Every structure is written in structure tokens, then in C-alpha cells.
Amino acid sequence: MDEKKERREQWLDMLKGCSQYHYEKATETQPTIIGQEMSEKHIMHKVWHWSIKDAVAILEMLPTMKESVEVEVDDKKLPQHDEGPAG
């Protein structure tokens, strides 16, 4: 595996672990009585869990810089190759 891909996977795994940690903490701090007000601690852990989870999902969808640069250029003549005002 490419070193950069391996590091990317390690970062994603670490972020997933952080998300899981905050999910567990949110579960531990959730109100036990119906109608009881949620504590700030519970809300904070819940927000962190969902924020990190969403960030991981976005990162997994996005291509890496190398992948996005590998777009092939056709043999078309580009405007900047023309002579005159257009070039």
C-alpha cells in the first residue's frame, strides 16, 4: 500500500475511534428519566460524535490530491496556445 494512503487510513481510523469515544460518553451521560433535561456534557459528547462522524464521511468521499490531479488532458488545442490576443 502507498505510504500516503496508509497514513490517510490511519487518520480516518483515529477519527472513527474519537467518534466512538464520544458516542460512548454521550450514552453514559444521557438522561435516565423521561423528560429530564439533558446535561451540557451529554449534549457536547453528542455533538462531537456526530461532527466527527460527518467529517469522516466527507473525507471518505473526497479524492486525495494525487487522485484529483491525475486527470488526463486531451490533445485539444487550448486558447493560450493560439497566436494573437487570445494566446
The phi-psi region of residue 48 (left if phi > 0; otherwise alpha if psi is between -120 and 50; otherwise beta) is alpha
The verdict on residue 85 lying in a domain is: no
Q: Domain range holding 45?
A: 38-63
Number of domains present in the structure of the chain: 1
Does residue 84 lie within any of the structural domains? Answer: no
At 87 the pLDDT is: 45
Of 5-9, 31-35, 40-44, 82-86, the range with the lowest mean pLDDT is 82-86
* pLDDT in the model for residue 53: 96
Rounded-to-integer distance, Cα 51 and Cα 17, Å: 13
Average pLDDT of the chain to the nearest whole number: 83
Note whether residue 49 is domain-resident: yes
| Residue, of 83 and 42, whose pLDDT is higher | 42
Residue 20 within any structural domain of the chain: no
Q: Give the per-residue pLDDT at 63.
A: 75
